Structure 1
Amino acid sequence: MEQFHEIGAEVAAVSTDSHHTHLAWIKTPRELGGLGHLNLPLVADVSKRISSTYGVLVEDEEDELYGAALRGLFIIDPAQVVRSVQINDEAVGRSVDETLRLVKAFQFADKNGEGCPANWKPGAASIVPDPIKSKAFFNAWSTEHPDSSITA
């Protein structure tokens, strides 16, 4: 989590498990399926209010996952605005590298007033919000990525 702290971002995990379960999970080594030493606050959402508020709680009584919380990832900026939402079912995790890339992209866009195309990384070209300059970006993008199905 150090790479998030280096860019001024905070990370917290929320689960519907109790703080007792969290403690056991932290005490279990990673090689045995636990978290091991994790420098990350774990929030116990046993009331499921946070999960419901953020839309990750399965509330359909007909769903076999009723009452469970799906895996959600939310990027919230310093003004408390939700900038990105990713919700997966329990079988699929999230990418730390992609989350870090997104946080850096939001920070860059906020600081520079420019857009970040798909797969943007620090130092890569960005989209200037100007009809002429953005046209130059898209022209260069399509030349550099002629067979790409990814659009900027």
Structure 2
Amino acid sequence: MKHTLISKKAPNFTASAVLNGEDIIQNFTLEHFYGSKYVLLFFYPKDFTFVCPTEIYAFQEKIRDFEQRNVQVIAISTDTEQSHWAWLQIPKEKGGIHGVTYPIVSDINKTISYNYGVLSGNLILDQNELKATGELISYRGLFLIDKEGFIRHLLINDFPLGRNIDEAIRMIDALQYYEKSGEVCPANWTKGKRSIKATHRGLLDYYSS
């Protein structure tokens, strides 16, 4: 069983990706953003499906919010870069994701999904035959990576359960507030609300006021 990736260095990868909805590149790498940007990396199961485009567009609709927070959004699935590109050319009203501008990475070898602990299914050796149990596709994983390349928040949903993009933004706000102030963020914290000084006295002050 893989250990949690929280507080660990995010597994780096170099893979093919589609940028700006139209350009295919072969050497897209996560390390490119280290030292300059936060990264919100999210996995989705398949192109040309049902829940996936609702999430992909929901991230796109909030892209200005992410950019204002210096966050690079990156999507990944186990489809090919050609499949990503084709889907990006189809209008929304016809089931496509035209208009999405953030990078969409191809994990055709399944290694990125495996290294992040979101690959469904398993490969087994049965009487010298390699077999798959279940589809080798990604669960709905989401990873918030800080500017030094460390994973500070993660969420993994089963296939039928779409994610809340506002919650992802809330977690970014909480991380950035903590980095700036040193104060920690209590339950249901949102930007502008009270935080807690990371001391016993700070906690008493929080509950007594």
Tell me the TM-score range normalised by the shorter chain: 0.7 to 0.9
Deviates more, 1:53-62 or 1:112-121: 53-62
Q: Which residue of 2 aligns with 1:127?
A: 196
Report the alpha carbon displacement of residue 122 of structure 1 after superposing the two structures with TM: 1.1
* Alignment RMSD (CA, Å): 1.7
Report the residue type matching 1:54 in the other structure. Answer: Y
SS at match of 1:17: coil
% same residue? 36
| Aligned structure 1 segments of 4 or more residues deviating by more than 4 angstroms | 61-64
Match of 1:8 in 2: 70
Paired AA for residue 139 in structure 1: S
Per-residue deviation, residues 59-105 of structure 1 (Å, max 9, x unmatched): 43599634121111000001111011111111111111110110111
Of residues 98, 104, 108 in structure 2, which corresponds to 1:36? Answer: 98
CA 1:10–1:20: 2 relative to 1, 3 Å: same
Paired residue for 1:82, among 151, 158, 165? 151
1: CA distance, partners of 2:173 / 2:93: 31
CA-CA distance at 1:128 after TM superposition: 0.7
- Unaligned runs of 5+ residues in structure 1 are 141-152
**Distance (Å, rounded) in 1 between the aligned partners of 2:138 and 2:170:** 25
Higher helix share: 1
- In structure 2, stretches of 5+ residues that fail to align are 1-62, 125-131
How many aligned residue pairs are there?
140
Letter in 2 for 1:43: V
* Shift, 1:129, TM fit: 1.3
For residues 1-150 of structure 1, the aligned pairs below 5 Å read 1-60=63-122, 65-140=134-209
